[in-house]
Amino acid sequence: MRKQLTAIITSCSLILSSCGGGSSSGANGGDNGAQTPSPSPPAGTARLYSDPSAESLTVTDVERVISLAVAEAQARNLPSTIAVVDRVGNVLGVFVMNGANLSLRIPDAPGGPSSNTDLQGINLPAPAAVAGAISKAITGAYLSSSGNAFSTRTASQIVQQHFPPAPTTVGLESGPLYGVQFSQLPCSDLMQRFGSFGARALIGPKRSPLGLSADSGGFPLYKNGVVVGGIGVMGDGLYGFDPNILDVDNDTEEFIAFAATQGFAPNEDIKAERISVDGTLLRYSDATVAGLRGGAVQSFTALNGRVGNLINVPGYSDGSIVAGSVFGSEASGVRAATAAEFANRDAYILSDGSGTNRFPIRAGTDAASVATPLSTDEARSLLEESFAVMSRSRGQIRRPSDSRAQMTISLVDTHGAVLGIVRGPDAPVFGTDVSLQKARTAAFFSNPRAASDLAATNSPSVGMFLASARTFFGSSNIFTGQHAWTTRAISNISRPYFPDGEVGRAPGPFSRDINGFNPFSTGLQSALIVGNVTAHVGFLLGGNPDTPARCTTMPDVATGQNRLQNGIQIFPGSVPVYRGSTLVGAIGVSGDGIDQDDMAGFLGANTTGLRIGGIGNAPPAMRTDQIEVTTSGAKIRLRYIGCPFAPFLGSNLQNVCQGL
């Protein structure tokens, strides 16, 4: 009888997990009478996803990619730095042409040098361009999958203050992945470093020296339709972004990198320009095959030592060319989960190269702060239910249309400790670190200690943003545990206009003013980690020790651990988890559209409550969509989550998050 009852509860949970996902206006409105769908397939039955094909870059491939880039650089008379990485960010080779400009300059703020903050306006000497090239290559590899090919030009389009960025689009909301550039950080405790698990280990995902890049000149590399890495080129010394998507640039770095993808290009159908967000097609490349100038490509042996040289990059490469890892293999650090690790046969996890799950599902570590921490069974249920929602969802950024969404799902406790990470087999790699950032962001700002932790950092800018938030909300008690915060809500107050996109408004309290904003200085997000990034750049330049694998100067919540060990994220895709009105953790999701990410975590928490009871989403009265702010005489309500209108494959359900 007990087994039958458990089966009935589980079945109900799976059915209701498909009823949740709805309007973009919030998550606690009235019931809209949605139909009940058929149940999701139970864990352990037929697979819904295919495993990635076993493809990788060989040494010969890497040499060919570099040779193609060199030929185009010679034809365009721009000696350049060329970096090649595999899909999990291992640097496979860095080649510097003779006479290359190895300096790196970051653009000034819109208001000019007097408005510069954080990373804006920095001029870095040689060999800082190497950091830019590696970051571009990692961006092309990490943002792409077998269902979508994104470049650094694509990244530029989706991280700026208006989407799409152009003089004529002022007044539109900010880019859907606004803030993603401050992920994959060199200080992240999730991202691996060169030499981790052994000097030649190719365990990823690896960190990026400057986070993700919005500077044209970075592309993914493909073999037989499978993303196997990325190429990045720096030659002009300027590490910037494109503020006008409406014109067609003649960008020399982009042409050089684009030339290197010939023979390693994605299928046309998955390029960014085939994918739309809010009715706008994304952009892949302004460089074209017809515009290439490179002549005969010389062998790498003929180039190395004559036209330029492979170089050693501290913390990234020993100066040789190596073959890339096969994504999905144990050696890559991303592999299929065993039945003991995760019940759903489609799940992938992060591994240490020796068969050990780096982030196994476990109970909460925060008994010193929470009376009843999450149990292992509760953690498992939260991840399983969120994964089940993902598996039924229609992807926004994947081709062909009606492909299943693929994401990474992270769970943390109130201390920010990881209680488990699972992912779809072909989910973009960038979502691994981002999902953890999102989870920690939701857990942190929902925590009673958030304000005091912010006040205790050694950055005056962080204290300024906290003071601004107290003024903005008219409360000295903001961020002291009264409200449940999602990253969608944090995104509302992290934009250079509040409400987002309404020109002439004051900035949100966690944002820089528009005259002080560009993608290198977003506000609280960048202020928290700028010291880590500059310390790492100093390390690359040979001036100081490397940044620790721990972002921010937050106070320790436990010895050697803070709540934001890989920084914060300021675009949607997370929910805090509660036991009654007590915070016990948070779920972060990343890898598809932001509404799809939101839905997977929100419905996962909801159906966990139905399945096992005791935990779930925040009580509606605590959610941030109950906060109303008066600005310029108008009352503006914050958001909590947003869900796709009709999100599920094989179902006509609509507004599935309403009433939950």
11-27 residue pLDDT tens: 333 333 333 333 333 33
Q: What is the pLDDT of residue 454?
A: 97
Q: What is the pLDDT of residue 45?
A: 62
Cβ–Cβ < 8 Å for 177, 157: no
Full DSSP string of 391-433: HHBBPSS-SSTTPBP--EEEEE-TT--EEEEEE-TT--THHHH
Q: What is the pLDDT of residue 659?
A: 87
Q: What is the pLDDT of residue 560?
A: 87
Q: Is the pLDDT of residue 37 over 80?
A: no
Residues 6 or more apart whose CB falls under 8 angstroms from that of 164 comprise: 157, 172, 245, 246, 280
Helix (H/G/I), strand (E/B), else coil: 69 = helix
Average pLDDT on 452-458 reads 95
547-586 residue pLDDT tens: 999 999 999 998 889 999 999 999 999 999 999 999 999 9
Q: How close are the terminal C-alpha atoms of the chain, in Å? A: 30
Percent of the chain with pLDDT over 70: 93
What type of residue is 316?
Y
Average pLDDT on 226-247 reads 97
Full DSSP string of 172-232: BPPPTTTTGGG-S-TT-SSSB-TTTTSTT---SPBP-BTBS--SS-EEEEEETTEEEEEEE
Q: What is the pLDDT of residue 28?
A: 32
Alpha-carbon distances of 346 from 41, 49, 111, 330, 426, rounded to whole Å: 12, 6, 49, 16, 10
- Going 181 to 183 to 184 to 186, the CA torsion angle's sign is positive
Reference 313, options 212, 216, 195; nearest CA is: 195
Alpha-carbon distances of 445 from 370, 435, 440, 499, 563, rounded to whole Å: 16, 16, 9, 20, 10
Tokens of 275: 């994918």
CA–CA separation, 258 vs 72, rounded Å? 9
Cβ–Cβ < 8 Å for 585, 374: yes
Q: What is the pLDDT of residue 251?
A: 98
E-strand ranges in 459-608 read 574-579, 582-590
Q: What is the pLDDT of residue 200?
A: 65
Q: What is the pLDDT of residue 31?
A: 31
Helix (H/G/I), strand (E/B), else coil: 569 = coil
> How many other CB atoms are there within 10 angstroms of residue 626's CB atom?
15
Reference 93, options 212, 238, 184, 229; nearest CA is: 229
CA–CA separation, 159 vs 385, rounded Å? 30
Half-sphere exposure of 462 (CA within 13 A, CB side): 22
Average pLDDT on 471-495 reads 97
What type of residue is 507?
P
Rg over alpha carbons for the chain, rounded to the nearest Å, is 23
Secondary-structure class of domain 59-318 per CATH: alpha beta
Tokens of 433: 């670190």
Reference 623, options 484, 444, 490; nearest CA is: 484
The secondary structure element, H or E, covering residue 317 is: strand 317-318
Residues 6 or more apart whose CB falls under 8 angstroms from that of 171 comprise: 162, 501, 502, 503
CA–CA separation, 379 vs 365, rounded Å? 12
276-308 residue pLDDT tens: 998 899 999 999 999 999 888 999 999 999 999
Strand 280-281 to 276-277 pairing: antiparallel
CA–CA separation, 329 vs 88, rounded Å? 11
Q: What is the pLDDT of residue 633?
A: 82
Q: Where are the domains of the chain?
A: 59-318
Reference 354, options 332, 326, 339; nearest CA is: 332
Alpha-carbon distances of 109 from 122, 501, 529, rounded to whole Å: 11, 18, 18
Q: What is the dihedral of CA 344, 349, 355, 358, to 10 degrees?
A: -130
77-131 residue pLDDT tens: 999 999 999 999 999 999 999 999 999 999 999 999 999 999 999 999 999 999 9
What type of residue is 445?
F
Q: What is the pLDDT of residue 600?
A: 98
Average pLDDT on 235-245 reads 97
- Is the full-model pTM beyond 0.75? yes
388-424 residue pLDDT tens: 999 999 999 999 999 999 999 999 999 999 999 999 9
Partners of residue 530 on adjacent β-strands = none
Cβ–Cβ < 8 Å for 463, 457: yes
> How many other CB atoms are there within 10 angstroms of residue 633's CB atom?
5
What type of residue is 2?
R
What type of residue is 371?
A
Cβ–Cβ < 8 Å for 106, 119: yes
> Average pLDDT of the chain?
92
CA–CA separation, 454 vs 376, rounded Å? 30
Burial class of 45 by CB neighbour count within 10 A (0 to 12, 13 to 18, 19+) = exposed
Tokens of 290: 């017809």
